A and B are shown apart, each in its own frame.
Chain A
Amino acid sequence: MTTYLDDAELEQLIATASALTADDEVVTRALSRDIALPHRAGTGVLITLDNGLDHERPNTLGPQSLGELNRAVDAALARPDVAMVAITGKPFILAAGADLSGVAKLTAPEQATAIARIGHGVFAKLADARIPTFCFMNGLTLGGGLEIALNCQYRTVSASAPAIAFPEVFLGLVPGWGGAYLLPRLIGADRAVKVIIENAMNQNRMLKGADLEPLGVVDATFEAADFLERSLDWAARVVTGEVKVERPEPDTGEAWDAAVARGRAVADQRVHGTAPAPYRALDLMDAARHRSRDEAFAAEDAALTDLIMSEELRASLYAFELVQKRARRPAGAPSKDLARPVTAVGVVGAGLMASQLALLFVRRLEVPVTMSDLDAERVQRGVAGVHAELEKLHGKGRISADQLNRYRALVRGTTDVADFADCSFVIEAVFEELEVKKKVFAELEQHVAPETVLATNTSSLSVTAMAADLQHPERVVGFHFFNPVAVLPLLEIIRGERTDDATLATAFATSKQLRKNSVLVTDTRGFVVNRVLLRMMGEITRALDEGTPAEVADGAVAPLGLPMSPFVLLQLVGPAVALHVAEVLNAEFGERFHVSQSLRNLVEAGRPGLYDWGPDGKPYVSEETKALLVTGDSPSDAEELRRRVEDALAEEIGLMLAEGVVAAPMDVDLCLVLGAGWPFHDGGITPYLDRNGVSERVNGRRFLPPGVASLLA
């Protein structure tokens, strides 16, 4: 019984929610054992959370699991002979948070509220208990798992716990089982903003066990070897009064205001107001300092209800699943049994891209990597560049001295194509010109084995055409990386008309070894990411050429919440490259892909883009640049342009699917999330287009059925 919720109502909520999601929930049991506590501290009850499966399937907290925990906590607290209650998890895992598999079944706000209230109702018992309650965070502790810990009166953590975090905001939720209230009050708003907002929005960064005590999240840290034994020993000494836990009072004044403001700035920078979750979390954290626990929990209930019932969350969970599952089992990939081993790699070209590729291959495949170029000096520079990057990695402690020696020795340079003879996989990264690439492959074929894979990193040329005149065209495959190669996880793998399954399987297996997520794409210009980006960019530069002011054109798609605005992206890619790809796509697909005269003028003038950056760090369009822009007399406003862009995206993706460029809309979304950083809350892009009616307006139908990445109406 807590002040927050009475037992009968809690049990009713659990029963109703359990019935709704019963089929999907992997139930985490709450197993209670009596513990004879050391130091004559009496009997404790240790509750182990265990779903009965191995570490590949972490404990999660659905309604039935919370019901289990509720019963276990009630039973322990009802006993007069019990001196303390502690909660821990199965080996390596406390809990990975709420069970999100049931979210799709929540179709009414009351159902979402119930989920929020159940967590609060059960966890509040741990805070309100008349005897000490402990959480021993023995391993992975995410979201609701961390909220169990925060609701307990004391916490310990294993120094080796690999991942502790609040990923809620990353997914489109708030830590709404007490986290948004309890964490800032425990460790101060500044650190809580770091954990709940900054880490979550920084690619879902997580803490390690050893990070927690310095942050003030836990009261004690113990090594993994005897974590539970030490935690129980420590807890027993808390019970006896030998150990007194003192926690500093957080500053609830200006520091708190500053922290929340900083959080808002981070959120603005990442999602520009387009995703609700970080702002709701910050509102809750802001108010946490003044609210009573029960008021705060009610506010969290309201926030969770709104977010669970939001289109953004549904799209986000869809995108998360794509990244977690579809990315690991690429649609259309042939059986991995067909893959041939890659024992030596060749990289043709010794430029910047080639060096990045050589670095990646040597680190991940740990086989000899031979780089070549036309003249010895360029080759030497290329190899030296890779060596320098390896040194940097060693300097940062990312690779050991032995690894450094090993990798350095594996990277070699040559000007003689014959030196590629024993390579089983050769990738070219030479000038983006069909005849140049064809010549490279033809030369290679003189020296390498017939089954050696010849891969091209082309972004715009035809893989089929590149293979056309070879003796063994079946071994040519597209292997399109995204820049920077070491950072972006996407690899588009392109099947040419004659590419055989063994080559393709080898490409997928190699991609996996490189720790990239690959998507199978047919041999069409622009593949997926560039085609979608350039279609958008074309629409925006078309509007620019028509006379739309640059700032309006660039800001039109802000409501999509893309990681950077189109013109900032243009600057990053370089106007010349953008222009070139636009021309290729225009030549292939016609006027759908606009080739902008303004852009051409910028390239010819040698400008790095539209923007200059002022001393305030803000971009502006200089007068000189303005003079280079074509200014038509039919400007659009932001709203009109956004609609045009949305329509163009829906049209282009519809065409790509009709052409069979990829297997399904999911693959387009996966490419955009992984290769362009498009946001989860748009689900990549097709859920966004569906929910705003664009798909139906343009194509007459949705990309995805209702409920897949959206609310069931």
Chain B
Amino acid sequence: MPGESREVVFVDGVRTPFGKAKSLYAETRADDLVVNCVRDLLRRHPELPPERVDEVAIAATTQTGDQGLTIGRTTALLAGLPKSVPGFAIDRMCAGAMTAVTTTASGIAFGGYDVAIAGGVEHMTHHPMGSGTDPNPRFLAEKLVDPSALVMGSTAENLHDRFPGITRERADAYAALSQQRVQQAYADGIIQESLVPVATRSVEHGYGLATADEHPRPGTTVETLAGLRTPFRPHGRVTAGNAAGLNDGATACLLADAGTAAELGLPTAMRMVGFGFAGVDPETMGVGPIPSTEKALARAGLTIDDIGAFEINEAFAVQVLAYLDHFGIDAEDTKVNPYGGAIALGHPLASSGVRLMIHLARTFRDRTDVRYGITTMCIGLGMGGTVIWENPHFAGATEGDAK
């Protein structure tokens, strides 16, 4: 192993269209979703000899059934990678794919790998969140966590309590913006370029082909959102409209050592600068991205003002707004989630981290005036994760923009 850290690049990322739980992929297997992503990634990069892949790290929050059996390894085998290519399964709930990226990137930096595939899958139809788990009774007996900590919607309500300035109206307005941005990004053909079509099985209807996300509701307005009920609390603020929803989907990306990428002719979409993970109170897990971002920035020697593009996972509108308020960023700023986010697209837990990176990579391509960007997300059980990336297309700052 080399004594010096190596530079890690994000080559490319793809994903399946995200489906609504119990709908698009109800009869399609979770492993087939992620296998499709890996095969498409390799197809898009014929310059990469498959045997040069050193690791396949696939995240899933529930690692049983069609997400079980060490899904990174089964994915490698099912995708037709050479048997010499190893793989493993990884879990950090919502930040599974993000952790797959940071873990394999660390391995690349250390010299353990040259090329890795990282991704995630969550089939929330087959594996509702928390299914098959057995939380230790000490959590409640010793009041280690608040009883609401395991219900994500309730943690979001708790966040509204903590930040009274983030009202239902602000949350709905943000949600409507996310829907509009996704609608626009679809109209501009931005979303589609990273989608892998998936054959969907249905005993009743026959095979179909998933080519677009199922979750977005074009035409959503604050008015339509205002009428929705608040399932987690009477007179609460969190609704199905200002939260991400229950979804099925998978993602995968290709990471490489910069030197190897150059040797093989692999393109560089983003350069990894650094990352940070941080823990917070589980009952207000939504604030997690704040300390993780601060940690990542500090370690990278950057400040929030250096960041010109943000991809923050929209588990809940309130959690995005808490982050933006903390850093003094306007909720409608186009440097935040310019192509919309999880409120519209959906959030198949362990897969979403790479979806954020796909969007940021696209922003980097479009915005050569942006040098640094962030992908960040809140994580169940009270955590946040942040990865800082540098734009290889950066051509110098323009007047008035962030550095």
A residues with a Cβ closer than 8 A to B are: 31-36, 38, 46-48, 50, 52, 88, 91, 223, 225-226, 228-229, 232-233
Contacts and interface: CB of A to CB of B under 8 A. Distances in A.
B1 interface: no
Nearest to A89: B207
A31 B199 contact: no
Given A229-B36, A229-B197, A229-B199, A36 B206 contact: no
A404 B400 CA distance: 74
Given A225-B39, A225-B79, A226-B39, A33 B199 contact: no
B160 to A, nearest CB: 39
B205 A225 contact: no
A38 B197 contact: yes
Interface stretch (B66-74, B208-216, B269-277, B342-350): B208-216
Interface in B32-55: 35-36, 39-40
B203 interface: yes
Contacts of A91: 201
Given A88-B207, A226-B39, A229-B198, A36 B212 contact: yes
B209 A36 contact: yes
B197 A225 contact: no
Nearest to A91: B201
A393 B212 CA distance: 51
Interface in B193-231: 196-199, 201-209, 211-212
Contacts of B211: 36, 38
A225 B207 contact: no
B78 A32 contact: no
Given A33-B207, A46-B209, A88-B207, A225 B199 contact: no
Contacts of B199: 226, 228-229, 232
Contact of A50 (B39, B78, B203): B203
B80 interface: yes
B191 to A, nearest CB: 14
Most buried by A among B79, B197, B201: B197
B199 to A, nearest CB: 4
A223 B80 CA distance: 9
A48 B199 CA distance: 12
Nearest to A136: B207
A50 B79 CA distance: 26
A228 B201 CA distance: 11
Given A38-B211, A91-B201, A233-B197, A226 B36 contact: yes
A289 to B, nearest CB: 37
A700 to B, nearest CB: 54
Contacts of B203: 50, 52
A91 B202 CA distance: 11
Contacts of A223: 80
Given A225-B35, A226-B39, A33 B206 contact: yes
A50 B206 CA distance: 7
Given A36-B209, A50-B203, 12 more contacts: A32-B206, A33-B206, A33-B207, A35-B208, A36-B211, A36-B212, A46-B206, A46-B208, A48-B206, A88-B207, A226-B199, A229-B196
Q: Which 9 interchain pairs have the tightest Cβ spacing?
A: A31-B206, A48-B206, A228-B199, A33-B208, A48-B207, A35-B209, A36-B211, A33-B206, A229-B197
A52 B206 CA distance: 10
A678 B73 CA distance: 50
Nearest to B32: A225
Contacts of B198: 229
Contacts of A228: 199, 207, 209
A48 B80 CA distance: 26
Contacts of A233: 197
B201 A47 contact: no
A594 B242 CA distance: 94
Contact of A47 (B36, B39, B206): B206
B78 A225 contact: yes
23 contacts: A31-B204, A33-B202, A33-B206, A33-B207, A33-B208, A35-B209, A36-B209, A46-B206, A46-B208, A46-B209, A91-B201, A223-B80, A225-B35, A225-B78, A225-B80, A226-B39, A228-B199, A228-B209, A229-B197, A229-B199, A232-B197, A232-B209, A233-B197
Interface residues of B, number: 22
A213 to B, nearest CB: 18
A52 B201 CA distance: 12
A229 B209 contact: yes
Contacts of A46: 206-209
A90 B226 CA distance: 44
Contacts of B201: 91
A48 B291 CA distance: 51
Contacts of B204: 31
A4 B207 CA distance: 30
A383 B297 CA distance: 73
Interface string B11-38: 0000000000000000000000001100
Nearest to A86: B207
Contact of B205 (A31, A38, A52, A226): A31
Contacts of B197: 38, 229, 232-233
Interface in B180-199: 196-199
Contacts of B40: 226
A88 B201 CA distance: 12
A539 B40 CA distance: 69
Most buried by B among A34, A50, A91, A226: A226
A228 B206 CA distance: 12
Nearest to A32: B206
A229 B208 CA distance: 10
Contacts of B80: 223, 225
A312 B206 CA distance: 38
Contacts of B206: 31-33, 46-48, 50
B371 to A, nearest CB: 35
A180 B20 CA distance: 47
B28 to A, nearest CB: 11
B63 to A, nearest CB: 21
A50 B207 CA distance: 10
Contacts of B209: 35-36, 46, 228-229, 232
Nearest to B207: A48
Nearest to A29: B206
Nearest to B199: A228
A4 B156 CA distance: 67
B81 to A, nearest CB: 11
Contacts of A88: 207
Nearest to A46: B207
A49 B206 CA distance: 8
Contacts of A32: 206
Contacts of A34: 208
A112 B203 CA distance: 32
A228 B207 CA distance: 9
A33 B199 CA distance: 11
Contacts of A47: 206
Contacts of A31: 202, 204-206
Most buried by A among B35, B196, B205, B206: B206
A35 B207 CA distance: 9
A76 to B, nearest CB: 12
Interface in B226-258: none
Contacts of B78: 225
A91 B204 CA distance: 13
Most buried by A among B36, B39, B207: B207
Contacts of A38: 197, 211
Nearest to B200: A33
A91 B27 CA distance: 12
Contacts of B205: 31, 33
B64 to A, nearest CB: 22
A232 B209 CA distance: 9
A91 B78 CA distance: 16
Most buried by B among A32, A34, A232: A232
A225 B37 CA distance: 11
Nearest to B204: A31
